[in-house]
Structure formats: C-alpha cells, structure tokens
Amino acid sequence: MMQSSRKHIRSKPFTKMVTIKASYTVLPNEPTPEGLLWLSDIDQVARLRHTPTIYIFHAKHNHDTLIERMRNSLSKILVHYYPIAGRLRRIEGSGRLELDCNAKGVVLLEAESTKTLDDYGDFLRESIKDLVPTVDYTSPIEELPSLLVQVTTFHGGKSFAIGVALCHILCDGVGAIQFINSWAKLARGDTLEPHEMPFLDRTVLKFPHPLSPPRFDHLEFKPLPLILGRSDNTVEKNKKVDATLLKLTPEQVGKLKKKANDDSTKEGSRPYSRFEAIAAHIWRCASKARELDKNQPTLVRFNADIRNRLIPPLPKNYFGNALSLTTASCHVGDVISNSLSYAAQKIREAIEVVTYEYIWSQIDVIRGQEQLDNARALFFGQNEGKDALFYGNPNLLITSWMSMPMHEADFGWGKPVYLGLGSVSTQDRALIIQSPDGDGSIILSIHFQMEHMQLFKKYFYEDM
C-alpha cells in the first residue's frame, strides 16, 4: 500500500511573513492504474501553468490535526483522481503532451504566517502569493507535480488558508472544483457515492472525423484590436493595474437582468441570463471608464462550457478541459450609446455560436497546426510570458465561476469565508463568483487600469 512520505525542510522564511515548516510528498494510499493517459486537443492548448486558487476558513483548529487530516484525505482522494498524482511528458516530434500515471504524488506544504487573517485585507494584493505554493518552472516538465497545496495557519490560530496550484492541462475550473469538493467530503469523514466518481477517459473527445479546413470565421483566433493609432500594446502593458471587489446584492442582480430584458427589442427571445446581463454591464462600464474614441473596436473574451454542447454530451463528472474560447466584439460607441440589452445580445451571440459544429471547427484549427506551440500561440501568444496576448485596454477578459459550487469545500471546519484566484493580474480581467453568504449575491473581482478604476466603480453602481 502506498503511503504519504514526509520531507522536513529547515524553518526558513518563505516570504517575510510566511514560513514553510514542512513539505510532504503525498501518494495515493492504494495502488492505482499505471500507464499513459491520452490528453485531448482542448487539454493541449490549456495554460501550461498551475492555476492558483485560495480558500480561506475562519475556524478554531488544532494545527497538527489540520495537517494530518489534509494529508490523509489527500492520499485517499488521489486513489480516485489518480491522474493528478502522475507527471506530464512531451511526445517527441509534435510537442504534444501526455500524462504518465506513475503515482509519483503531489506536494503538500505546511506553513505558518505571522499575519492575522485581517492583515491580508481583500486578498487581492501581492501578499496573497504567500499563501499559494510556488512552482519552479525551470524544472523539467516530467518532474513537476501536477498539484501543490499549501496549508497556512494565520497568527492567533483562529483562521487558516488552503492554497491550491493545479496544473491547467489536467482540468478546467469545473473539474478542479469537482476534485476539491470531493477531497473535502473525504476530509469530513464522508464517502463518495458512485455518481460522484470522476470520469477519466478523455478519448470521448477524440473526434473521429477527418481533419477539415475551418468552417467558421473564428474571431477568437484573430489578433486583438489595439487602441486606435497604436502599433503595439507597449504603453498599455506598462500602466499600473489596481484590483477591487464589488458586490451585487440579489436585488441589484435582478435589476440588471430586468434592465437588459426590458430594453430588449428581440421579441419572443428567452430572457437574458445573469451572466449575459452582468458581463454586458461590466463591458459597458469598462468602455465608459476608458473614455476611448467611439469608433474604437473592443471585444470581450470568455470561455463557454461545452460539456452539454457535444453530441452526445460528455459524461457527468468528466474530469478534463471542456471549454471553448469565444469572443463578443463591437465598437465602443455602440456599447455606450445603446441600451444594456445591446451588449447583452453581443454576449449571447458569442455564447450561441459555440455549437457542436463550431467546436469541431475550432479543434480542427488546433489539429491543423504541425507543432503544438503554434496552436498554443493562437490562445496565449508566442508564450505565456512577455509575449503573451494582452487582454487589457481596449479589451477585456471575463471569467465566470457563478455556476460552480465553490463554497461547498468544507474540509470539516465549515465552508470557506472567501475564495478566489491566488494571483494578481497585470491586465484588465474580471472574475464573477457567487458570494459565500449563500443569499444569491454576486462578487466581482476586477483588475483594471488604476487610472480608470474610480470611474469604473462609479458607473458600476450608477448605471443600474
């Protein structure tokens, strides 16, 4: 039987305020299937990085009990999610990736902070990096753990954080939340029901049809518009970005939906959804705050979940990447001068274009690239560093976690009082999540150019 192993490291500062006390390599606690796992074309073009997320819990706890429970439950959940305990490797010649299910394990870090929970404020500043494991991308990909977890207790012993870094190649946000919630269930002492088991066979995304030329005008693969008169994004990239949390009460969410639907000229169409109304509102506020020329092209990019758009739909609890990038586009003047329903309709059109046939065509674009790096460049630029695509002014990247049961991650100390991304964006980005209050309110975590942030906040509440 495989057991967790422990590696002590000297108690030295991880940052000025957080000390790593110990590092554990956690293995599945039972033998797991071995061999190579095929990764889909959608997996191949996911970010070749670990997505950092933070869960904050406000509860009295015993530090040793906390660490022991997290280790033991992690070793149990890895039996069901055994691909996470494996390692990526490159297929020679194509640059494509495959997953070696070798059960080398994941990393769990035990950490302590000299700060209290309140010292971290809204968890949108650089200090949040203290709470998420650092991944050494200079190491060969075959040596990188797919999952690193850091459990940090705050000063005073009344709160702790779970920082998760999960490789995006393995799964999207839906899969990640499925894994975290299942792990939490085992940590509470419960067992997983048969319907909660992950579906791990990704060959259901092997499209049998022969490679064909694109059948659609894939706006998501075209260059993003620049500010009129500019030849590159250098100026915009160098501008400072601020971050804030903005709350929408259930009543305000209802007002936005009503506003979008009351203004709609599309007779007989179904009402605009929460996402369509909120995303449209964010887009309008951003366009107003930036004060750009009315003829300025602007676009919003976001991902659509394709699990139920495929024929047949993907199996329930499919664990992998199943997102399709899509784009809404128009001119600033049209977004500002028209009613909210205009922008909501643009958002809807970007969602509705993602049909089964469109997904086929998008994947054929990926398959048509001889080298994987060329396909990845369509989504991220030449690389995910300095030459990455810039989604800031005059454009916007929106991510929605509204439909995900993220606050169900109760490891035995109650539900999280806060959750969010464990990174600080350097460009304009909006993240829409449910409030932990459970009352239907929505939280917008927005990174936006500092010079425009005050106007954005002004319009965000005034324009309802």
User: Phi-psi category of 243—alpha, beta or left, where left has phi over 0 and alpha has psi -120 to 50?
Assistant: beta
Q: How far is C-alpha 422 from the geometric centre of its chain's CA atoms?
A: 10
Degrees, nearest 5: CA angle 399-233-350: 35
CA atoms within 13 A on the CB side of 244: 14
Q: What is the DSSP letter of 412?
A: S
Q: Which residues are catalytic?
A: 168, 410
Pairing mode, strands 147-153 and 323-331: unpaired
Beta carbons of 272 and 341 less than 8 angstroms apart: yes
Degrees, nearest 5: CA angle 340-341-347: 100
Cα 286 to Cα 263, 341, 444, 463, distances in angstroms: 20, 16, 13, 12
Distance in angstroms (rounded) separating the CA atoms of residues 460 and 284: 9
Distance in angstroms (rounded) separating the CA atoms of residues 180 and 314: 20
Q: Which residue spans within 72-228 are E strands per DSSP?
A: 87-90, 97-100, 106-113, 147-153, 159-167
DSSP string over 439-457: SS-EEEEEEEEHHHHHHHH
Distance in angstroms (rounded) separating the CA atoms of residues 322 and 310: 10
User: Phi-psi category of 35—alpha, beta or left, where left has phi over 0 and alpha has psi -120 to 50?
Assistant: left
3-state secondary structure 297-341: EEEEEEEEECCCCCCCCCCCCECCCCEEEEEEEEEHHHHHHCCHH
> Which amino acid appears at position 48 of this protein?
L
H helix intervals, 162-309: 173-187, 234-237, 250-262, 274-290
Q: How far is C-alpha 161 from the geometric centre of its chain's CA atoms?
A: 18
Distance in angstroms (rounded) separating the CA atoms of residues 300 and 163: 29
Both tokens of 53, joined, read: 């997320």
Distance in angstroms (rounded) separating the CA atoms of residues 236 and 225: 13
Distance in angstroms (rounded) separating the CA atoms of residues 76 and 118: 33
